[in-house]
A and B are shown apart, each in its own frame.
Chain A
Amino acid sequence: MSEYLGIFITLLTAYVLAGSLIAYLSRRYGVKSSKDYFVSSYRLGWFPTAMTYAATTYSAFMMVGLVGLTYSSGAGALGFELVYLLVTVVILASIGPDVWAMARERGWVSPSEMLSDLYDSRALGYLTVGVYLIAMIPYVSAQIIGAATIFEGIGLGYEAGVVVITLLILVWIVLAGMWSIATTDAYQGVWMLSAAALLVFLLTYYLLPASGTTLTQLTEALSVKGLLGLTDFWTPQTFLAYTLPWIFFAVTNPQVVVRLYVAKDRTSYKRSVLLFSIFGLAYTLAVVYVGLVVRGLTELNLFESVTKADLVTSKLLSGFNPTLSSFIYISIIAAAVSTANSIVLAVASSFVRDLIEKRRRLNVNISHASNSIVTLLTMVSSAIAFMRAGFVVDLSVLTSVLLLPLAPVTVVAWVAPHTIKGKPQRIAALTAVAVGFTMSFALAIILGPRKTFLTTYYGLPVSALVLITSTTVFLAGILASRRGKVKESRERVEETGSTSSTRDDIR
């Protein structure tokens, strides 16, 4: 066994043991009901609330995909990632406290249950569960693939990676549901941020001086190539295609929606938004810095040119001390696991609440059902990752686009819940989600998921068209029902008026 492999296995074992101990200890908070299991009965403190939000949101994409995207496309990648953070914090600060309060008033446990309750429509809940299933499973598989690829690159084998990651996802959920996830997310979040900081430190104080260059020279090299501005890659359409699904991420993705419920009190909720803001900004800046520095080194012929963007991080780490690079590799695994288990738990909560508990299937043991569904979802995602099933894995690129039709329906329900009670509103919501989802899924089948993501029609990317279509369908339905109501009440007034005037005539 090589020295590198030995160090990686030692650090991995330490990461797994410490995480498992944390998850096991979290059992003392007690899991007796689905509310305990899926949302910790709204008892999380500010630190785990913030860290589980951050670790769930920021996946393996950051250290692999975003570093590569910055390397290949320049500064535009920073705008793409920061606009997500900006809008998410605005949503968390403005609408989030109301959602937090509504969740405990109405006893929400799953995100689909929230929609079915607000619209008083079981059908909308079922439809949302279906959308989650098709959109989120590929995303979980992509996380497993990302982490397993690290195992493969280090020489431990892809299959072994899939098995280890699957077991980690499963065990850290089953031990105590949201409790074990939130506490291990806090631990993994600290690991992720420390690794990013370490990488920035290594680049600035080790690699740059060792390469005989300075940040000023790098900046000049990047500027000459136009990489500090908007390169040809970042056309307005591409920027919109990338940013639009992410702007609505906090509203549409079940794993983050459910995290709006969990803080134990209003103060904890507010503090968690503050900590998430700091985490998000620091992590984003670190990751983009890495991508730009490596590209600058390439421009100065001090680092090899990497044609496949996703390989930039691994090429960079291959030149580092084995302990340090293993520490950073494990932070990528942590990012993948923390995102994947949160998604599995959120999707499972929708199954359990909407399809079992709300239908009053009382003969079913909820605890067993929850664990069985978690196991089933994890196994399906793992099997897809194992086979590297092309279309399904590619579908993960479109996850946020497939979820976009939920955005108008959710935003209106959060901002003006009193306006959506009624059959026409229910029908409008159902139609908007069904039409938007069918449109994006059909395009994914016809064009392929990757092509769909960047295809434009009439100068607009598919994500914008999906959002416009579902918003138009939804608002048209609501306006039509309002007009109907106004017309009805006018007719009633006229009728009453004519009846009274007839009475007057008779008199």
Chain B
Amino acid sequence: MRLRSLKRHYLKLSIVVVLTFYLIPYTLLKNPLGLELLFFWVGVTFAWLVLTNALLIGDLM
């Protein structure tokens, strides 16, 4: 039951993360001076992949 709840929260958060992938670049990072947009996309992806795999390998989903 607790695991299912965690999975549900994870999926909701994943949708938010994907939405930021679209919204932040078109609102805050449209014309960056340097590598901000690239770092944003790579950082978000890296962080979410680490979290996802940690949850998966740790049997938390």
Q: Please determine whether B32 and A228 come into contact, CB atoms closer than 8 angstroms.
A: yes
Q: Please determine whether B48 and A86 come into contact, CB atoms closer than 8 angstroms.
A: yes
The contact of A87 among B18, B33, B44, by CB within 8 Å, is B18
Q: Please determine whether B35 and A219 come into contact, CB atoms closer than 8 angstroms.
A: yes
Q: Please determine whether A281 and B45 come into contact, CB atoms closer than 8 angstroms.
A: yes
The contact of A78 among B32, B41, B46, B56, by CB within 8 Å, is B41
Which of A270-278, A323-331, A349-357, A393-401 lies on the face that meets chain B? A270-278
Query: What B residues does A484 contact at CB under 8 A?
Result: none
Query: What B residues does A89 contact at CB under 8 A?
Result: 48-49, 52-53
Query: What A residues does B14 contact at CB under 8 A?
Result: 90, 94
Q: Please determine whether A83 and B21 come into contact, CB atoms closer than 8 angstroms.
A: yes
The contact of A274 among B29, B46, B56, by CB within 8 Å, is B56
Q: Please determine whether A86 and B56 come into contact, CB atoms closer than 8 angstroms.
A: no
For the complex, give the distance between the alpha carbons of A270 and B56 in Å: 6
Q: Please determine whether A236 and B26 come into contact, CB atoms closer than 8 angstroms.
A: yes
The contact of B53 among A93, A236, A240, A247, by CB within 8 Å, is A93
- Cβ of A229 within 8 Å of any chain B Cβ, yes or no, is yes
Query: What A residues does B36 contact at CB under 8 A?
Result: 228
Q: Which of A73-102 contact B (CB under 8 A)?
A: 75, 78-79, 82-83, 85-87, 89-90, 93-94, 97
Q: Which of A226-277 contact B (CB under 8 A)?
A: 226, 228-230, 236, 239-240, 243, 247, 270-271, 273-274, 277
Q: Please determine whether A239 and B42 come into contact, CB atoms closer than 8 angstroms.
A: no
CB distance from A287 to the nearest CB of B (A): 13
CB distance from A99 to the nearest CB of B (A): 14
Query: What B residues does A274 contact at CB under 8 A?
Result: 53, 56-57
**A75-B37, A219-B35 known; A273-B45 Cβ under 8 A:** no
B18, closest chain A residue (CB) = A87
- Cβ of A285 within 8 Å of any chain B Cβ, yes or no, is yes
Query: What B residues does A228 contact at CB under 8 A?
Result: 32, 34-38
Query: What B residues does A85 contact at CB under 8 A?
Result: 45, 49
Q: Please determine whether B61 and A93 come into contact, CB atoms closer than 8 angstroms.
A: yes
Q: Please determine whether A94 and B31 come into contact, CB atoms closer than 8 angstroms.
A: no
- Cβ of A223 within 8 Å of any chain B Cβ, yes or no, is yes
Q: How large is the interface on B (under 10, 10 to 19, 20 to 34, 35 or more residues)?
A: 20 to 34
B8, closest chain A residue (CB) = A94
The contact of B52 among A93, A97, A230, by CB within 8 Å, is A93
Query: What B residues does A93 contact at CB under 8 A?
Result: 52-53, 55-56, 61
For the complex, give the distance between the alpha carbons of A230 and B41 in Å: 12
Q: Please determine whether B31 and A79 come into contact, CB atoms closer than 8 angstroms.
A: no
**A75-B38, A78-B41, A94-B61 known; A230-B30 Cβ under 8 A:** yes
B58, closest chain A residue (CB) = A270
Query: What B residues does A219 contact at CB under 8 A?
Result: 34-35
CB distance from A299 to the nearest CB of B (A): 15
CB distance from A282 to the nearest CB of B (A): 11
Q: Please determine whether A285 and B32 come into contact, CB atoms closer than 8 angstroms.
A: no
Query: What B residues does A236 contact at CB under 8 A?
Result: 22, 26
For the complex, give the distance between the alpha carbons of A203 and B61 in Å: 41
For the complex, give the distance between the alpha carbons of A174 and B61 in Å: 38
Bitwise, B1-42 to A at CB < 8 A (1) or not (0) is: 000000100110010011001100110011111111110011
Q: Please determine whether A82 and B45 come into contact, CB atoms closer than 8 angstroms.
A: yes
The contact of A83 among B18, B32, B49, by CB within 8 Å, is B18
Query: What B residues does A83 contact at CB under 8 A?
Result: 18, 21-22
**A87-B18, A223-B33, A230-B26 known; A79-B41 Cβ under 8 A:** yes
Q: Please determine whether A94 and B11 come into contact, CB atoms closer than 8 angstroms.
A: yes
Q: Please determine whether B21 and A86 come into contact, CB atoms closer than 8 angstroms.
A: yes
Query: What A residues does B32 contact at CB under 8 A?
Result: 223, 228-229
Q: Please determine whether A230 and B49 come into contact, CB atoms closer than 8 angstroms.
A: no
For the complex, give the distance between the alpha carbons of A247 and B22 in Å: 12
For the complex, give the distance between the alpha carbons of A271 and B56 in Å: 9
Most buried by A among B17, B33, B34, B52: B52
For the complex, give the distance between the alpha carbons of A236 and B21 in Å: 12
B10, closest chain A residue (CB) = A94
For the complex, give the distance between the alpha carbons of A233 and B16 in Å: 25
A–B pairs, 5, beta carbons within 8 Å? A79-B21, A83-B21, A90-B48, A93-B55, A230-B30
User: Besides A94-B14, A229-B29, 9 other CB < 8 A contacts?
Assistant: A75-B38, A75-B41, A79-B21, A86-B44, A89-B52, A97-B56, A219-B34, A247-B18, A277-B49
Interface residues of A (CB under 8 A from B): 75, 78-79, 82-83, 85-87, 89-90, 93-94, 97, 219, 223, 226, 228-230, 236, 239-240, 243, 247, 270-271, 273-274, 277, 281, 285
